Amino acid sequence: MKSKKNIGGCLRYEDFLDIGYKPSDDELVVLFRVEPNKGMSMKEVAARVASESSCGTWSDLKWYPKRVEKLKGKVFEIKGNFVKISYPLDLFELESIPNLLSGIAGNIFGMKAVKNLRLIDATFPKRFLKFYKGAFYGHDAISKIFKRKEGPIIASVPKPKVGFSHKEHAKVGYLLWRGGLDVIKDDENLSSPRFNKFEERVKLLAKYRDKVEKEVGGPKDAFINVTAPTLKEMERRIKMIHDYGFKYFMLDVVVAGFTAVQTATEIARDLKMAIHGHRAMHAMFTRNEKHGMSMLFLAKLMRILGVDQIHIGTVVGKLEGRKRDVIATKECITENSVNEIEGVRLKQEWYHIKPILPVASGGLHPGILPELFDIYKTTNIVIQVGGGIFAHPMGIEAGARAVVQAVEAYKKGISLEEYAEKHKELKKALEVWGKSKPV
Ligand code: CAP
Ligand code: MG
């Protein structure tokens, strides 16, 4: 490629360093935590991260199109281990979250120059967000699907998490709905085993839903898992759930992948359905505070993509998630704009992208629900209680009632102990679990 007009200068790692540069509002700004490998300085490693995540490589390129100059990631701030890099939007296919992640969350994690690397957050400019519609319902699912002014939306998962036949699963679902719950949720690893085929489960759950709505009122719904081997099969499952009158479906968003999520959100919008996002596998890369990607950023991507609700942790339950991080994430997906929290979160204006619902699940039982709601400072969330219902000594329906009674007590400002005096199912739950925090 010899034509004069196309020749750049020389593209070296140091060309991706521009400390003190002030990014425009039209650039993507990403916050990383960077730990250099031995013998490497912060600046050397930060430049490599910016280069490898945008348009550079390890060798000093002498032949490249001039437009590359305008596609470079720029390290503009280094504070201890925290590095901010700005990226011109032209670097990306703006309609594609998979493409974004192949850049800012791709090769860089495997570079020998880094000992540890964590993608903490990114500020998305308005021009980027313009390509996304966000969730169809989001926070409004409480009023638009469950016809209530406030939450929580209460779900349960049949436990053991896999093992019920479709008949047993639907019957258990009927008991949970009759016990006062809003939703029967598939577990993350339930899809279509031979003994509980997806199609049979959908049909029977719909039958029991109609029966229980006649008996105790509704609306009742289900988070039925559409995670499938192919996008075509995922779409078929979503459409079947829709045809049987459910408003929601569930997707294991990390396992299925970002192309599947973007496909599912388009189908959901067309069918006016809500997506329950389960985050199974997230802890593989979110848990290590020094390496991987923050749950906050994963949750933010789900809000941009249009998932209506996403698990973000309980603090008090059986799964890890520090209070500071859960709150920062909750604010990120429920507020219209958030400020920066140094080392934890960047500022973000959400414009037209609707707030979505946090999901709290994992080791919950009636005794710790008040503490959970106090941490979230709202009951406008989705709670999921599995083992905390199925291990209730008085049975499944009583277990569901105990959860509903604990929510009622909290919303009335009455202590669980006092409320339990007149609610035997709650009283029994408190006898068994008290306010213990499972591990
Ligand atoms: C909870 C759960 C959920 C976890 C997911 C489970 O069941 O069904 O998948 O809450 O974790 O399989 O453990 P229990 P997270 O209510 O019986 O604990 O919400 O952190 O993504
Ligand atoms: Mg589960």
Name residues contacting ligand 1 (CB within 6 A). Answer: 157, 159, 161, 187-188, 279, 311, 313, 318-319, 361-364, 384-388
8 A C-beta contact, residue 240 and residue 202: yes
Note the pLDDT tens digit of each residue in 321-357: 889 999 999 999 999 999 999 999 999 999 999 999 9
pLDDT reported for residue 249: 98
* Res 1 pLDDT > 50: no
For the CA of 360, the nearest atom of ligand 1: 19
Q: Which ligand is nearest to the CA of 280?
A: 1
Note the pLDDT tens digit of each residue in 278-298: 999 999 999 999 999 999 999
Residue 276 annotated to the active site: no
CA atoms within 13 A on the CB side of 183: 31
* Least-confidence region, from 206-215, 310-319, 416-425: 310-319
The C-alpha angle with vertex 386 and arms to 382 and 388, in degrees rounded to 5, equals 105
Which is catalytic among the residues 72, 159, 423, 427? Answer: 159
Q: Which ligand is nearest to the CA of 318?
A: 1
My answer on whether omega of the bond before 65 falls inside 30° of 0, hence cis, is: no
* Res 57 pLDDT > 90: no
pLDDT reported for residue 423: 98
Cα separation, 134 vs 142, whole angstroms: 17
The C-alpha angle with vertex 311 and arms to 293 and 142, in degrees rounded to 5, equals 140
Q: Percent of the chain having pLDDT more than 70?
A: 98
**Ligand 1 centroid to residue 311 C-alpha, Å:** 9
**Ligand 1 centroid to residue 361 C-alpha, Å:** 5
Cα separation, 33 vs 84, whole angstroms: 9
pLDDT reported for residue 7: 60
For the CA of 390, the nearest atom of ligand 1: 17
Domains with residue ranges and CATH for the chain = 13-129 (3.30.70.150), 138-433 (3.20.20.110)
- Average pLDDT over all residues of the chain: 96
Q: Which tokens go with 281?
A: 């596998």
8 A C-beta contact, residue 85 and residue 49: yes
Report which residue type is found at 226: V
Provide the angle, in degrees to the nearest 10, between the axes of the packed helices 323-334 and 369-376.
60
* Res 101 pLDDT > 60: yes
DSSP assignment letter at 293: E
Q: Which tokens go with 438?
A: 């499972």
pLDDT reported for residue 321: 81
Which carries the bigger pLDDT value, residue 230 or residue 9?
A: 230
My answer on whether omega of the bond before 393 falls inside 30° of 0, hence cis, is: no
Answering whether pTM is above 0.85, one says yes
Q: Which ligand is nearest to the CA of 187?
A: 2
For the CA of 363, the nearest atom of ligand 1: 18
Cα separation, 156 vs 403, whole angstroms: 10
Residue 352 annotated to the active site: no
Note the pLDDT tens digit of each residue in 148-203: 999 999 999 999 999 999 999 999 999 999 999 999 999 999 999 999 999 999 99
Atom 12 of ligand 1: nearest residue by CA position = 187
